Chains A and B, each alone.
Chain A
Amino acid sequence: MLSYLLLALLVLTIAAYYAGLAKARAFAAATGHHKSHHSLAGYHGAFVAAWAGIPSFLLVVLWLLFQGPVVDQLLIVSLPVERLQDLDAGQLNLLVSEIKSVAKGNIFGTPDEVVLAAAERYNSWNGIASWAMVASALSLTVVALFVARSMLAPRFRARNHVESITTVLMITCSLIAILTTVGIVTSLLYETMRFFSMVSPLEFFFGLNWEPQIAMRSDQVTAGGAFGAIPVYVGTLLIAVIAMLVATPIGLYSAIYLTEYASDGLRAVVKPLLEILAGIPTVVYGFFAVLTVAPAMREFGELLGFSIAPNSALAAGGVMGIMLIPFISSLSDDALNAVPQSLRDGSYGLGATKGETITRVLLPAALPGIMGGILLAVSRAIGETMIVVMAAGIIAALTLNPFEPVTTVTVQIVTLLIGDTEFDNPKTLAAFALGLVLFIATLVLNVIALTIVRRYREQYD
């Protein structure tokens, strides 16, 4: 029904556009010369269409938001008082859910009279509400169409009205993006606060022991649970550093080669090939790390006589570094290409070689862009999940040895939340605290990266 309603609104909106257009053309034809009109006919049409479509669409959205809670309240009020006695909030919720599932036709066992009657009421109220929504939305559209159309006149400033409506629409779109971010951060903050009410922040931020297993039932025998996150962060940093040690030189040198040395034909082939790397799903990188790189490293280590763990930080970090190469090479390539040709000419004209020109003029000039690319890659590295879930360890060992397995923030969040979880114990809530710290870290890195890029960007032309 909702889709038919939206379709009808769309049709009416289009009709409104043509109604406005027709009226504007009519008075244009009546006066003869278009100079006496303020706006083009299309703006008159758009003005009527906007007023016909937008308010009723908003009405439908609001209606859908509030219909559920309002009907629920009516339902609860309509239940017999004796049935509501002795019910706490949880049991009441259970009762309402039961009524709703009966109303949908999912009947388990034999529901009692009260529930059946309530389900019937629930269905009929929902039906009434839906029809009321259709009726009010359609009538609002039609009324708005005629009111807006009656406002049209040769000197009516339709263009200005349409432009301000467009502005409001654009502001709304950006607000939706911003508000979503705010919502995500708020929910993270809220759950983190709950975590810190159970586990001391001191332990979380400075503890050296991460063993988040806790007893789920009273008869279970496990460790008491330790939430010192330092080993997790050290592991994350270790893998990120290894990844950057792989990605930065390879990415930067390939960018320099592509912009300064490669012929146009070679560049046309190599650059897309390099960017294919960016299109490989991270889970495929994970396979590569687990099945190819890690065993190869282990065998190589055995050859040299020392042991490398099968899920070593080196394998995970190395493969993550390969994933980040196109990131760095593509951003550095853009930065180097943005350096104007006149600077290259100036340097060559003074007798500088290609190498001198690159190290003394091009790289310093492109440095902000390159730094920005590197920092963005770092924030990708610490937030990357799939490769480390597959290739890194789960046990949080506090070590800087790249041959040992380490775990990362993202791996821990995944393991904490896998399986049946209740969000009322520190084990699962710890995931939110880890997530919040991760979010803040990547946010800070991104802000620094963007500030560097903005502040030090040379203003050419």
Chain B
Amino acid sequence: MQQLPIGATKMLSTVKPLLAETAAETKITARGVSVFYGEKQALFDVDVDIPKNSVMAFIGPSGCGKSTFLRCINRMNDTIPIARTEGTITIDGRDIDDPELDVVELRARVGMVFQKPNPFPKSIYENVAYGPRIHGLANSKSELDGIVENSLRRAGLMKEVHDRMNEPGTGLSGGQQQRLCIARAIATSPDVMLMDEPCSALDPIATARVEELIDELRESLTIIIVTHSMQQAARVSQRTAFFHLGKLVEESETTTMFRNPSDQRTQDYITGRFG
């Protein structure tokens, strides 16, 4: 067996046994998903099953298509005029391209957290209340207050901001801003959460807080996280998918992936030979 990257071996020893998860039902199914940006094909024929209430990590070198695939799941690629998607993705057996299913509804159910914290230039309260307001989830002010407080609590931010809910969200520290964005995404009560390198702009302590949070949220959410850090993938995920040059090379349990990858390219990548 090849030498694992420093730290990863230690991390793996702390990953809990995952027997329960392996039997879990499938939440998201992708079949033959390809994405084109204009003439250029960015993603080739991806098939993957993502189990419910678990964390799946997408790893791979820059430009390998992992973020592109992530953005297919809530149809964020629709906002790019030149992007074209083929294949089918289903969530709970329902096709996300079903004309009956509005993209607004889909994105309320599939939350997204971005690489750089992007709180709106509004108060902390208004940031979290944004989703519930546009989807009409609260019938009264007190109901909205409840949603906001609950979301902030689940994002582990309540203690830090309870006395300054009306201050601008942009005034928080980077790590707090990212947890605010997570709270904002939780507020529409999604059952899937997409995270696109959520810790790449954060310091190690803030990263640890977000990773803890991901582990807690796994109880109620299906989480897909794109990450450049293999240690992070090892720490937070139950399953890992390795993308390379727009193709899904390998997908398996995280422990298997890091201890005993079946594909040579995966092995080269996780041992730091390229990428």
Contacts and interface: CB of A to CB of B under 8 A. Distances in A.
B105 A349 contact: no
Nearest to A350: B131
Given A345-B76, A360-B134, A458-B170, A350 B118 contact: no
Nearest to B105: A351
B114 A342 contact: yes
Nearest to A353: B104
Contacts of A364: 120-122
Contact of B120 (A264, A343, A351): A343
B121 A458 contact: yes
Contacts of B185: 349-350
A438 to B, nearest CB: 36
A422 interface: no
Contact of B79 (A264, A345, A356, A459): A345
Most chain A beta-carbon contacts within 10 A, residue among B108, B121, B185: B121
Given A343-B118, A361-B120, A365-B121, A350 B184 contact: yes
Contacts of A346: 114, 118-120, 181, 184
Contacts, number: 71
B107 A351 contact: yes
Interface in B166-199: 170, 181, 184-185, 188
Interface in A315-351: 340, 342-351
A119 to B, nearest CB: 74
B118 A351 contact: no
A356 B118 contact: no
A368 to B, nearest CB: 10
A352 B184 CA distance: 13
Interface bracket on A:
20 to 34
B112 A349 contact: yes
A335 to B, nearest CB: 12
Contacts of A343: 118, 120-121
Interface string A423-461: 000000000000000000000000000000000001100
B265 interface: no
Interface in A347-379: 347-353, 356, 360-361, 364-365
A165 to B, nearest CB: 43
B111 A349 contact: yes
B120 A365 contact: yes
Interface residues of B, number: 28
A361 B106 CA distance: 20
B76 A349 contact: yes
A263 interface: yes
B44 interface: no
A350 B114 contact: no
B120 A349 contact: no
B81 A263 contact: yes
Contact of A345 (B108, B114, B121): B114
Given A345-B76, A356-B134, A350 B107 contact: yes
A351 B104 CA distance: 4
B76 A351 contact: no
B135 interface: yes
A348 B116 contact: no
Contact of B130 (A264, A360, A365): A360
Contacts of B107: 348-351
Contacts of A458: 121, 170
Residue in A264, A351, A364 whose Cβ sees the most chain B Cβ within 10 Å: A351
B20 to A, nearest CB: 30
Nearest to B117: A342
A364 B122 CA distance: 9
A350 B121 contact: no
Contacts of B104: 351-353
Nearest to B187: A350
A348 B131 contact: no
B55 to A, nearest CB: 19
A377 to B, nearest CB: 24
Contacts of B188: 350-351
Contacts of A347: 120, 130
Contacts of B106: 351
Nearest to A461: B116
B232 interface: no
- Residue from A264, A346, A353, A361 having most chain B Cβ neighbours under 10 A: A346
Nearest to B185: A350
Nearest to A357: B134
Given A353-B104, A361-B120, A364-B121, A348 B76 contact: yes
A343 B181 CA distance: 11
Nearest to B104: A351
B74 interface: yes
A458 B122 CA distance: 10
A158 to B, nearest CB: 45
Nearest to A346: B118
B74 A349 contact: yes
A260 to B, nearest CB: 11
28 contacts: A264-B81, A340-B118, A342-B114, A342-B116, A342-B118, A344-B79, A345-B79, A345-B118, A346-B118, A347-B120, A348-B76, A349-B76, A349-B114, A349-B185, A350-B107, A350-B134, A350-B188, A351-B134, A351-B135, A351-B188, A352-B134, A356-B134, A360-B130, A360-B134, A361-B120, A364-B120, A364-B121, A365-B121
Counting from the closest, the 9 A-B pairs by CB-CB distance are: A351-B107, A349-B112, A342-B118, A351-B108, A346-B118, A350-B131, A458-B121, A351-B104, A365-B121
Interface of B: 74, 76, 79, 81, 103-108, 111-112, 114, 116, 118-122, 130-131, 134-135, 170, 181, 184-185, 188
Interface of A: 263-264, 340, 342-353, 356, 360-361, 364-365, 458-459
Given A347-B130, A348-B79, A360-B134, 15 more contacts: A342-B116, A342-B118, A347-B120, A349-B114, A349-B185, A350-B108, A350-B130, A350-B134, A350-B188, A351-B104, A351-B108, A352-B130, A364-B121, A458-B170, A459-B170
